[in-house]
Amino acid sequence: MNVIEATGITKIYGSKTVVDNVDLKVKNGEIYGFFRKKRCR
């Protein structure tokens, strides 16, 4: 059983696609974490 399900995720900043058509399924009892590199502007 999926407790979280997301399909077709896309993120665009200006003209740059940074996430393209990602699917995510998290089943009961699973733990997911997402980390990104810290970026200074």
Q: What is the pLDDT of residue 41?
A: 60
What pLDDT, on the 0 to 100 scale, is given for residue 40? 58
Residue 21 is part of which domain span? 1-28
- DSSP bridge partners of 2: 27
The pLDDT value recorded for residue 12 is 95
Which CA distances in Å does 8 have to 13, 22, 29?
17, 5, 23
Domain-located, residue 10: yes
Whether 33 is in a domain gets the answer: no
- Residue carrying structure tokens 């996430």: 19
Total domain count, the chain: 1
pLDDT at 2: 93
Output the pLDDT for position 34.
77
**Longest Cα separation, the chain:** 41
- Name which of 41, 30, 36, 32 is nearest 11 in CA terms: 36
Q: Model confidence over 1-41: pLDDT tens digits?
A: 999 999 999 999 999 999 999 999 999 999 988 777 776 56
